[in-house]
Amino acid sequence: MSEEIGSSERNIKIAIIAGEKSGDQLGGPLMEAIKVHYPNAEFIGVGGDSMKEQGLNSFFNMEDIAVMGIIEPLLSLRKILRLRRDVKFFFKNQNPSLFIGIDSPDFNLPIAKFLKNELNIKTVQYVSPSVWAWRKGRIKKMEKSIDAVFTLFPFEQEAYKNSLIEAYFIGHPLAYKIPILIEKKILREERGFANSQKVIALLPGSRKSEVSLVGNQLVKAAQLIKADFPETRFLMPLANPDHQKLIKIDNDNGLIEFSVGDSREILAVSDLAIITSGTATLESLLFKTPCVTVYKINWLSFKIIKPLLKISNFSLPNLLAEKKLLPELLQNEVTPQNIHQNFLEIHNKMNETYVKEFTAIHESLRAGGSPYAAKIIKELIE
């Protein structure tokens, strides 16, 4: 009898889908870690540049399914359903060893359910849906679709404690990318900022809809802050150069310094920040930069979601701290006056207190990352 083929020699095929840039940035390192166990692994599915660099030939453009909210996906429903049908057919013919859906649960979970039933393969959801925040009953439905979920945050794992789904807290990759000790003074000098000068980061979000709803509120808040602190510099990094057209500034006078694609660098040198809720608030925490978090979406989407919310805080820093560590403003609370008032709240607090709490959270998020996730995937395949 021939010897059993070792993991490193097996020709496995993994189906994997990331629905937007943040998912692609998780997928690339995960694929790289999987290849440590399976150097000959073949990856099929959907992803962006990070995943393509690891050998993925994307079935269609990832941006085709990168929609947010409740109303927005409905406007693209026919296209999304067609793409999902096509990818199901493709995967079924390819007969993969395992399926990994990265974020985008509305797109990925039906595919996982189909593959689990049709091919009897293990399925993984990388990034938990927000069951900890709203519609916790979805977990029972998810049990028919996935075998395991990889969570980025510890509070997410807790939501699955009574579920058939195995939940693994693997930590957040940004906790490894960003050093725990941030030398702000050196970083500021490298970018030409005087250490005596107050630098405020304004992040209106990465999507056009977010910038449209929040961008001008941030500018008006900056004008109020400027009246209090005339020497302050306001930096607004945008995800897309076209987003600047959505920002209206009366009597500009160079109030806002715009840039594109360098939000992390700006958060690293900033004293404080005002940020649209999302991963950028986590980046702000990891860079030891206190922030005011704001969140505003389409009014109809919010009207549908609000009754289902089961959390008292929504920003990542507060969820990770398990208390209201930093100010947050939701929907109609997002006004220039409220932003200004909450900015003063964090400005007047001793920064050392924040740094101590941010550092403890940062260390807790280093929970194994992609290598740990790849080890679990190996166990699922074997």
Angle at which helices 369-381 and 21-37 pack, to 10 degrees?
60
Domain ranges of the chain: 7-171+367-381, 184-364
How far apart, in whole angstroms, are the C-alpha atoms of residue 190 and residue 378? 43
DSSP 8-class letter at 74: H
Same CATH topology for 7-171+367-381 and 184-364: the answer is yes
pLDDT of residue 371: 96
Cβ(293)–Cβ(327) under 8 Å?
A: yes
How far apart, in whole angstroms, are the C-alpha atoms of residue 134 and residue 305? 8
Using one digit for the tens of pLDDT, what is the confidence trace for 75-85? 466 777 888 88
Using one digit for the tens of pLDDT, what is the confidence trace for 19-78? 888 889 999 999 999 999 999 999 999 998 999 999 998 876 656 555 444 444 554 667
Quote the tokens at residue 291. Answer: 């922030």
CATH code of the domain occupying 7-171+367-381: 3.40.50.2000
pTM of this prediction?
Answer: 0.82
C-alpha dihedral over 129, 133, 137, 142, to 10 degrees? 10
Name the residue with higher pLDDT: 283 or 131: 283
Using one digit for the tens of pLDDT, what is the confidence trace for 318-377? 999 999 999 999 999 999 999 999 999 999 887 788 999 999 999 999 999 999 999 999
Point out which residues pair with 234 in neighbouring strands: 200, 256
Instruction: Categorize the per-residue pLDDT at 306 as very low, low, confident or very high, splitting at 50, 70 and 90.
Output: low
Q: Which class is domain 184-364?
A: alpha beta
